[in-house]
Amino acid sequence: MSNLRLRSGRASVLLAAMLVGAPLFAQDDGWTLDAELDAGVRVTAAENAVRDDDDTVDDDAISFSLSPQVTATNGPVEVALRHRVRRIEYFDDDREDLWRNLLGAEVTYTTDPMGAVSVFAERGWNVSTAEFPRADQWEAGAEIERRFGAAHRVRVGGSWRERSYDDLAGSEGSGPRLDAQYRYRFAANHYLYVAGRVEEIDSDAERREMNRWLLSASYQRPLARDLRIRPQLTYRELDFPGRIVPDGASREDTILIPEVTLLYSPGDWLFSGELRYNIRSSNDPERGEDGFRISVNASHEF
């Protein structure tokens, strides 16, 4: 843990220096620099016994996040460097509080007014995954965005992940992830989204092998100035080929998640409240519990 704090501390110092110094380094060679900082707090409560996957890592906890970012732009090229550090403190004394850190870089090229291509690389520490609650991860990928008129936007992307798990065996895993999203714009802050994802992790440790796919649809519309509502429905399927359940089969989970989020964004502030209900089904008797989950968030952009 001390090494994690040291590495993340160095990254934070570097980014803080860039945030302070960014305006001083703007030159007349076509590059412009912009810096921003986002700070947030989140409180989550849930009635779910599952506590060891990437969807439940912050259940029954309060978390604090700090996200500095520096962006350099020159014509159609944009280069962004970002760091996110998050502290999660659990209400249950039996759970160990943790730090999560993500350091990333992204280059975006705007091909024309209706499209863009981006590539990115990220390094994460204490990342929560579907197959294990804590892992260090390298991820690299690309995304293509295309707009068709003012209303339609499509994004398609993929990445490769390399993971080192914080388990007793020090096991490792790797695999691809593919994403696609369609957005229809009705008006300002009024959208329809449909998204899908397929991902896979292979590992020499059988319990770390995982296949997952999901499909989600959401609809966001404004209710008043700075106030909007966003209902969403998500369906997920997870397969763990190396985990054998009591009936001798490999573990298979399905999750249906109806949820609704209320967002209020006055000025540089963002407040949101989310209510969801996890409907779980699994051939593992310990994994089939349904339950509500509620979270409240507040963040400010500097």
The per-residue pLDDT for 94 is 84
Q: Which fold has domain 2-22+31-301?
A: Porin (2.40.160)
- Please tell me the distance from the alpha carbon of residue 249 to that of residue 211, in angstroms, as a whole number: 15
pLDDT at 252 over 60: yes
pTM here is 0.85
Domain boundaries, the chain: 2-22+31-301
Nearest to 8 by CA among 101, 70, 77, 91: 101
96-105: burial string, b at 16+ Cβ within 10 Å, e else: eebebbbbbe
Nearest to 118 by CA among 148, 152, 146, 138: 146
The per-residue pLDDT for 2 is 43
Q: What is the pLDDT of residues 31-67, one digit of tens each?
A: 999 999 999 999 999 886 565 566 666 788 999 999 9
With 0-12 CB in 10 A as exposed, 13-18 as middle and 19+ as buried, what is 266? exposed
- Please tell me the distance from the alpha carbon of residue 67 to that of residue 28, in angstroms, as a whole number: 28
Q: Supply the Cα-derived Rg of the chain in whole angstroms.
A: 20
User: 209 pLDDT band (50/70/90 cuts)?
Assistant: very high
- Asked whether 197 and 207 are in contact (CB, 8 A), the reply is no
The per-residue pLDDT for 1 is 45
- Please tell me the distance from the alpha carbon of residue 132 to that of residue 240, in angstroms, as a whole number: 12
The per-residue pLDDT for 51 is 59
- Asked whether 34 and 264 are in contact (CB, 8 A), the reply is no
The per-residue pLDDT for 93 is 86
The per-residue pLDDT for 35 is 96
pLDDT at 22 over 80: no
- Asked whether 237 and 252 are in contact (CB, 8 A), the reply is yes
